[in-house]
Structure 1
Amino acid sequence: MKQATLWIGCLMLLSTCVERLELDESLSGEPLLVVDGIITNANEPYVVKLAYTSSSLQTYEANPLSDAQVYITDQEENRTDLTEVDAGEYETDPNFFQGNSGKSYRLHIIAPNGRTYASLPETMPDVPSIDNIYFELDSRPYESSIGTILDEWGLQFYLNTGSGENKNAYYRWSWTETYEFTAPLVRPGQFNIPTCYQSGTQTRYLNIASTQGLSRDRIERRKINFVQKSGRKLQRRYSLLVKQYGLSERAYNFWENVQEQQENSGSVFAPPPAPIPGNVYNVNDDTEPVLGYFQASSVTEKRVFVSRSEIPPGPGGSPGGFGECIDGDPEASDYCFDCSLMIGVTTETPSFW
């Protein structure tokens, strides 16, 4: 029960917020190690996050594992040490190490308590470029505050990709959106109207696919991100950066199992699903469960921009808006007049803009 029910929360907690579970009774046990690491062929620091679960299953708490020895070896036994840059977060130096497609890598961990862990060898596959990213005006249903089902209109983004070769390929996508906007209201005599920028990424949503069973490695109209028209994201200019990762078959099977548990475990009182086999293990004790996965993935990326003038005005009305900012409201928040007062916002124009 302990091992099975911890998989989903623990795999996502290292990069997301704490998730609380409401259980009838407290369950306890030895904390389990959670490993979240990836290396790619991009010239950037690679990050490995290490944490322990809480001994009680009432919360999925991230208890960082600090002061560990963490290093990566390749198929020729070349060693690259990682440096702890934050509690439980270890990084490589991009000036001295960069992954290469076609090569195999292993992760090694020596915890302060002397326990030694390693991953199975992960071979980094090639990944094709993203052919194109495009959008279509679309809607999706949502339930209003009074229980009525309404249509929410927005832009549905898609991509096309694939090598076209007669082979099986495995993919995972992530994305970052950045958008430009201004506050909707102006005070009498206000001359400073800043232009603001905000960015965000998807968190708990997994987007994976394979071409296994198809005649060739080709993926068309893969849904990536939906952006509603009613929010401020499409007010002036919108950018979507998509990263495409090539996965090994074993890594794909791992993330597919995680995705299935996310979709099927709607209640903590449901029968526990089967444990998901990762690729990290205790070198000296194969009975110790270790959660997570060390991934070696080649990566490519593509960015698109959408200006307000490119968005059809209907259906769904014109894009942009602050639903909580009403002209003439004496209690309107200050950020309704100055968007730079909003949390997570900057007035510095991004370098790629």
Structure 2
Amino acid sequence: MKNFPIKFLGWLMVLLVGGCVDPYRPPEITSPASYLVVNGFFNSDPGTTTTIQLSRTQNLTDPKAPTVETKAVVTIESAHKDVYTLQEGTVGSYTLTGVTPSANETYRLHVKTTKGADYYSDYVPVLTTPPIDSITYHPDNDGLQINVNTHDPKNNTRYYRWEYESTWEYFSDQNSAFELVNNKIVNRTQSVYQCWGSEKSSDIITTTTTRLSQDVVSQFPITHIPSTSIKLGSKYSILIRQFALTQDGYDYYDQLAKITQSIGSIFDPQPSQITGNIHSSANTGDIVLGFFRVGTVESKRIFISKAQLPPWYTNTGLGTCTIDTTKAGDVIKDQPGVINLYIPGLYLTTSLPCIDCRLRGGVLQRPSFWQ
């Protein structure tokens, strides 16, 4: 009891301190400011299409999709005054075809909005991206690690960025021969047993070889796939795209990665303003998000089949697909997935996600590149 006053005082201090803590909501979270976002680059590969996408930032609390910047005048200008105008197709997306930049020229992007605001990028050189030497993979204790290898024999690149697209084949738990159409059991005209899923990379992946004597990137990690992932259940493919960057471009993406991918503790980089190479011509406070570059893109694809991997368990996310036998009248009433005819008037059934692979996010159409 003699320690009771001290303990009581301690608990009282905890309550008082807790009661004095108010959540801090920075003004940027609810700020009405809407800044221009520029996504795209001038593709110097012959015969390719250059695409520049324009949109607007929004508040963190806004649940709607970002607003696109439509009906803008978008041009690419050379230092020698050549001007190429991009055409808007899909709203907010501007394209240019049939134009190949000159290797020894510099270019800038110019955007003029419907409100009359002008935005210019810095003039940037044309960069040639070295080819991807190889994509390698190796199983570890947790799954599959995928790496990339490249080099520049001229030691000119030094700064690299990658994007990737994953595609995987997967199957339903059961192959269905029937379906319900207008409350009637009919033969299925299209198989929903085999699907392909896909996703694009969302992280910013960069590296530099400036601290190395040779411009060589060896076994650089691109992505890691858990061993239980449905991506590895049958066949998996990854397409990696490689971009050469200037030092300014690398610094921009490196800063963006640190701010967007490393915030979570007091030891991580704190939020700060990101400065790209696109600016308002009239108002320095009118921030533009994005970095304009000109150059080639190198890509490489590999396929990995389940037979090439350890005997990992695949988590389909379906749980147990219980199979029942149901009379035709009950099938129409309960509308489960119909697998097959067991005996006349009696059908094998299970839940629809166990039959229709599309219900797990995939599509039925086989990709044109699939092997």
- CA displacement at 1:249 relative to structure 2: 1.2
Q: CA–CA distance in 2 between the matches of 1:233 and 1:264?
A: 26
Q: CA–CA distance in 2 between the matches of 1:308 and 1:343?
A: 20
- 1:180 matched to 2:169: yes
Q: Secondary structure at the match of 1:86?
A: coil
Q: CA–CA distance in 2 between the matches of 1:224 and 1:163?
A: 19
Q: CA–CA distance in 2 between the matches of 1:287 and 1:329?
A: 64
Specify which of 321, 324, 328 is matched with residue 322 of structure 2.
Answer: 328
Letter in 2 for 1:303: R
Q: CA–CA distance in 2 between the matches of 1:101 and 1:194?
A: 50
- CA displacement at 1:295 relative to structure 2: 2.3
Q: Which has the higher contact order (CA 8 A, sep 6+)?
A: 1
Structural RMSD (CA): 2.9
> Mind listing any 5+ residue stretches in structure 2 that lack a counterpart?
1-23, 179-186, 325-335, 337-349
**In the alignment, is the contact (CA less than 8 A) between 2:157 and 2:244 conserved in 1?**
no
Specify which of 312, 337, 343 is matched with residue 355 of structure 2.
Answer: 337
- Tell me the equivalent position of 1:266: 264
Letter in 2 for 1:155: L
- 1:70 matched to 2:69: no
Q: CA–CA distance in 2 between the matches of 1:271 and 1:328?
A: 49
Q: CA–CA distance in 1 between the matches of 2:298 and 2:241?
A: 6
- CA displacement at 1:272 relative to structure 2: 5.7
- Tell me the equivalent position of 2:109: 107
Counting only pairs closer than 5 Å after superposition, residues 76-115 of structure 1 correspond to structure 2 as 76-92=80-96, 94=97, 96-99=98-101, 101-115=103-117
Q: Secondary structure at the match of 2:144?
A: strand
Question: 1:312-347: per-residue Cα shift (whole Å, max 9, x none)?
Answer: 22xxx34x4413241326686413223145434123
Q: Secondary structure at the match of 1:46?
A: strand
**In the alignment, is the contact (CA less than 8 A) between 2:318 and 2:353 conserved in 1?**
no
Which moves more between the two structures, 100-109 or 233-242?
100-109
Which moves more between the two structures, 270-279 or 70-79?
270-279
- The 1:213/1:88 distance shift into structure 2, 3 A limit, reads same
> Mind listing any 5+ residue stretches in structure 1 that lack a counterpart?
1-21, 140-152
Percentage identity across aligned positions? 26
Letter in 2 for 1:170: Y
- The 1:59/1:224 distance shift into structure 2, 3 A limit, reads same
- The 1:249/1:101 distance shift into structure 2, 3 A limit, reads farther
- The 1:267/1:115 distance shift into structure 2, 3 A limit, reads farther
- CA displacement at 1:101 relative to structure 2: 4.7
**In the alignment, is the contact (CA less than 8 A) between 2:262 and 2:269 conserved in 1?**
no
Letter in 2 for 1:159: V
- The 1:193/1:63 distance shift into structure 2, 3 A limit, reads closer
Aligned length: 310
- CA displacement at 1:217 relative to structure 2: 0.2
Q: Secondary structure at the match of 1:335?
A: helix
